[in-house]
Each structure stands twice: as structure tokens, then as C-alpha cells.
Amino acid sequence: MEFLETSEGQLYIGVGVGLIAVGVAAYFLFSSTKPKVCLDPENFKDFKLVKKTQLSHNVAKFKFALHTPTSVLGLPIGQHISCRGKDSQGEEVIKPYTPTTLDSDVGYFELVIKMYPQGRMSHHFREMREGDYLDVKGPKGRFKYQPGQVRAFGMLAGGSGITPMFQVTRAILENPNDKTKVHLIYANVTHEDILLKPPEEWSGGVGFVSKEMIQTHCPAPAPDIQILRCGPPPMNKAMAAHLEALGYAPEMQFQF
């Protein structure tokens, strides 16, 4: 008590109260400017479908609103989410999907989904209407990305396997300090199957992705490159065999 009554003691208290006030103000300022992350790795969260755009007979873009207009999804680059729905028999189904948006897209995220006639989760997406909610959990995945971690990426994508490549490429191109080179080989059954394609005529190659195509279009084996692959299982298997035969060490490869 004696301490409080001295002028020195009052000064200390004044400084202490001032520091607490600055701390509280900084906390509120920081917490109000830091975007709220929506994903939870342990629990499914539901997100409202605000727009469904049909891109072709079996592909649609789904735009989901985040919990507030200033929230971000909170998905590291190249990782994916688990989506939960019901198949045509009413059974629960959970499948992985990679948003084509990044955390620089505030307030929403988008999925580009190819819907297969007999696909279980495809059924759920086909039936979804604007205003419906989708259960989502994440982030999931082993891929880690830091700008400049490699000199160049070679990307081997098939069908809907383009979505993680699209996300990584977008992150690189939108960062002016990121000089990573990207080489993409994207395989589809028909021209109509190409997801996220620019609206122009096809002038690319035809046939299965061969060793020669990889040699021509991808960076040669080196410790500072990485070849990413994502496609249907038979394509992934064929690409793994090609890469091994061309001398790409396991640490130069990643499969989403």
C-alpha cells in the first residue's frame, strides 16, 4: 500500500495501465484484420452453395460462401479438402477435392467437379442446388509449398487431376517474387473433357503421355526440380514407370 502512495509507485501503475491498454488495442486491431480461417481438420463444417455454373455436359463449377465475407478457407497451397455427401442409395460418401481458389480469394471458395454417371460423390454434386450446404473438412495432404523451393516443376495431370496443378500454378504466377518455372502436360480423353481450358481451339498433341513427351516438355532430372503427378490410377502408374525409366529419383517426384 505504501508503494501505491508514492509518486514513483503511481508512475509505475500509470505505465503498466498504459501498456495493457496498448496491448488490448493491438490485440483487437490484429484479431479484426487477421482473416478468420474456416477449415477445421477434425470436424466437418458446412458451406452454402451460392452459385453452380455448368461448364460442360458433365463438369460444373461450384462456388461456396465462407462463414463471413472476410473469412478465408485456410488451405495451404497444393493441399485438398474432404467433402461429405450421399450417393444414389443414400449412403454416406467422402471424397477429396482441390479448390481452384486460393486464400487470396476472400469470402468464398470454388470447386470444379467432373461428375461421372455412376460416381457416388458425383451423384451428390449433380443433385446439389444453390442454397444447399456441403460438409467439408481439412486441410488434407502431404504436399508442402514454399516459393523458390525448386527451380522448376514438371506437372503430369489427367482429367480432374488438373485441379492441384492449377492451384500451385496460380500461386506461383500471382507472386511476382516467385520465379519457379512450370511445365505442364495435361491429358484428357476428348477435347470436351479438358477442365479449366482457355476458350480457344485445340492445337496440342494426341495419344497417351509417353516417355518422349516427358523428355521434351519437362525439366530433366536434377536435385532442384520436382515432377508432380495427379490423374486416374492407371495414368499415375504409367507415369511413375516412365519417370523411373528416365532417371527421376523418388525425391524428384510427388503424387497428389
Ligand X SMILES: Cc1cc2nc3c(=O)[nH]c(=O)nc-3n(C[C@H](O)[C@H](O)[C@H](O)COP(=O)(O)OP(=O)(O)OC[C@H]3O[C@@H](n4cnc5c(N)ncnc54)[C@H](O)[C@@H]3O)c2cc1C
C-alpha distances (whole Å) from 79 to each of 31, 58, 83 are: 25, 24, 13
Identify the CA nearest to 85 among candidates 65, 111, 108. 111
Based on the residue annotation, tell me whether 80 is a catalytic residue of this protein. Answer: yes
The label of the residue with cell 476458350 reads 199
Number of residues that bind ligand X (CB under 6 A): 22
Is 122 annotated as contributing to ligand binding?
yes
For residue 118, state whether it binds ligand X (rule: CB under 6 A): yes
Q: Which of 83, 97, 124, 186 is catalytic?
A: 97
How many CB atoms are closer than 10 A to CB 145?
17
Set 80, 123, 124, 242: catalytic member = 80
**Chain centre to alpha carbon of residue 224:** 23
The one segment of 3-11, 21-29, 106-114, 204-212 that binds ligand X by CB under 6 A: 106-114
Selected from 113, 185, 194, 209, the binder of ligand X by CB under 6 A is: 113
Q: Which of 62, 97, 153, 186 touches ligand X (CB under 6 A)?
A: 97
The answer to whether 96 contacts ligand X (rule: CB under 6 A) is yes
Contacts of ligand X in 22-41 (CB under 6 A): none
Mark the segment that binds ligand X (CB under 6 A) among 9-17, 114-122, 205-213, 214-222: 114-122
Strand segments (E) across the chain? 45-54, 59-65, 80-86, 92-97, 108-114, 133-140, 152-158, 181-187, 225-230, 253-255
Nearer of residues 101 and 160 to ligand X, judged by Cβ: 160
86 is an interface residue for ligand X by CB under 6 A? no
Phi then psi for residue 127, to 5 deg, are -80, -15
Q: Residue 107, by phi and psi: left (phi above 0), alpha (psi -120 to 50) or beta?
A: left
Whether 98 is catalytic: yes
Q: At 172, list the grid cell.
A: 506461383
188 binds ligand X (CB under 6 A): no
Smallest gap, in angstroms, from Cβ of residue 43 to ligand X? 20
Distance from C-alpha of 251 to C-alpha of 65, rounded to nearest angstrom: 38
Applying CB under 6 A, among 159, 218, 243, 253 the residue interacting with ligand X is 159
- Of residues 160, 180, 226, 253, which one binds ligand X by CB under 6 A? 160
From candidates 67, 86, 120, 137, binder to ligand X by CB under 6 A: 120
Do 182 and 153 contact (CB within 8 A), yes or no?
yes
Residues 6+ apart with CB under 8 A from 165: 155, 157, 184, 186, 228, 230
56 binds ligand X (CB under 6 A): no
Residue 254 one-letter amino acid: F
**Catalytically active residues, by annotation:** 80, 97-98, 230
Q: Which residues bind ligand X (CB under 6 A)?
A: 80, 93, 95-98, 111-114, 116, 118-122, 159-160, 163-164, 232, 256
